[in-house]
């Protein structure tokens, strides 16, 4: 396919490469995306309702059981061929995902803009926690993710912006490009002269900045670019 060849040529000739991933990256590992409506016992909620500090304050047990359900699903899942291709591409990996599938596929040091399902912390003092209550201050343990309305980790965001500003090529995979400030990252790369390749089966606002738009899935198209 012409555009896969064009993407492969851009990757071959690029110096600094950034890969930017969203929930679609893990879809072929069986992890539902945010745009998929929640199913089963969560069908009556939307992620935006559950992924907020207010939801946690109102009903910590409900919010914890959603995150425990998601963590268990990730532990049962396996990285897909797309995660493996991202590890092979190397460069700087910036992910909005809170799963550990990139790490398990061999990506060394992903920048997690929205935290991790595997890093619970104290709701009050922010320190890492291992049990239900913070050993330091007695505060409640919370999932180690960034909720809607919360600031992204400043160091991670600064590292991500710096990488996007200085790269030659940014490959955006499996993101609807709707959640800010993370959604700025591909635009930062484009305005600083990088070429942008998008991998997504559906149109997104990033269509307008993509030099190459690959309409398809991560697990099929990312390995194809590397062939």
CB of 222 to ligand BV8, least distance (A): 9
Q: How far apart are the first and last CA of the chain?
A: 12
Q: Is 174 annotated as a binding residue?
A: yes
| Number of residues that make up the chain | 227
Binding string to ligand BV8 for residues 133 to 162, with x set by CB under 6 A, is what? ------------xxxxxxx-----------
| 102 given a catalytic annotation | no
CB distance 152 to 146 below 8 Å: yes
Among residues 7, 18, 20, 24, which is the contact residue for ligand BV8, using CB under 6 A? 24
Shortest spacing between CB 200 and ligand BV8, in angstroms: 5
Instruction: Considering the candidates 83, 102, 112, 114, report the single residue annotated as catalytic.
Output: 114
Picking from 195, 220, 200, 191, the residue whose alpha carbon sits closest to that of residue 210 is 195
Q: Is 81 near ligand BV8 (CB under 6 A)? A: no
Number of residues interacting with ligand BV8: please give it, by CB under 6 A: 35
Question: 198 labelled as ligand-binding?
Answer: no
Torsion, Cα 24 142 114 176, to 10 degrees, reads: 40
224 is an interface residue for ligand BV8 by CB under 6 A: no
DSSP secondary structure string, 23-91?
GGGGGGGTPPPSSSPP-GGGTT--HHHHSSHHHHHH-HHHHHHHHHHHHHHHHH----HHHHHHHHH-S
Distance CA 139, CA 194 (A): 44
* Residue with tokens 């050993």, as numbered in its chain: 135
Q: Phi and psi for 131 in degrees, rounded to 5?
A: -120, -165
54 belongs to the binding site for ligand BV8 (CB under 6 A): no
> Which residue lies nearer to ligand BV8 by CB, 16 or 187?
187
Q: Based on the shown chain and the rule CB under 6 A, indicate whether residue 34 belongs to the binding site for ligand BV8.
A: yes
- The answer to whether 92 contacts ligand BV8 (rule: CB under 6 A) is no
């291709």: which residue's tokens? 85
- The CB-of-137 to ligand BV8 minimum distance in angstroms stands at 22
**Closest CB to ligand BV8 among residues 95, 129:** 95
Which residues have a catalytic role annotated? 114
Which residues of this chain interact with ligand BV8, rule CB under 6 A? 22-24, 27-28, 33-35, 47, 51, 96, 98, 114, 145-151, 173-176, 178-180, 182, 199-202, 204, 217-218
């Amino acid at each position: 396919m012409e555009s896969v060849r064009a993407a492969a040529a851009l990757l071959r000739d690029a110096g600094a490469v950034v890969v930017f991933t969203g929930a679609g990256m893990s879809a072929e590992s069986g992890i539902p995306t945010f745009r998929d409506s929640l199913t089963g016992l969560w069908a009556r909620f939307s992620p935006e309702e559950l992924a907020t500090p207010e939801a946690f304050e109102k009903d910590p047990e409900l919010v914890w059981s959603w995150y425990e359900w998601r963590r268990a699903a990730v532990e049962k899942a396996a990285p897909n061929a797309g995660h493996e291709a991202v590890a092979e591409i190397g460069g700087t990996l910036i992910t909005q995902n809170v799963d550990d599938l990139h790490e398990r596929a061999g990506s060394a040091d992903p920048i997690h803009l929205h935290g991790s399902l595997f890093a619970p912390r104290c709701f009050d003092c922010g320190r890492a926690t291992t049990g239900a209550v913070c050993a330091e201050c007695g505060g409640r343990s919370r999932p180690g993710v960034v909720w809607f309305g919360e600031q992204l980790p400043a160091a991670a965001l600064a590292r991500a912006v710096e990488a996007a500003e200085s790269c030659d090529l940014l490959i955006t995979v499996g993101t609807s490009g709707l959640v800010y400030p993370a959604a700025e990252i591909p635009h930062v790369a484009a305005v600083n002269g990088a070429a942008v390749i998008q991998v997504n089966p559906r149109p997104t606002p990033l269509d307008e900045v993509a030099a190459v738009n690959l309409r398809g899935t991560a697990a099929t198209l990312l390995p194809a670019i590397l062939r």
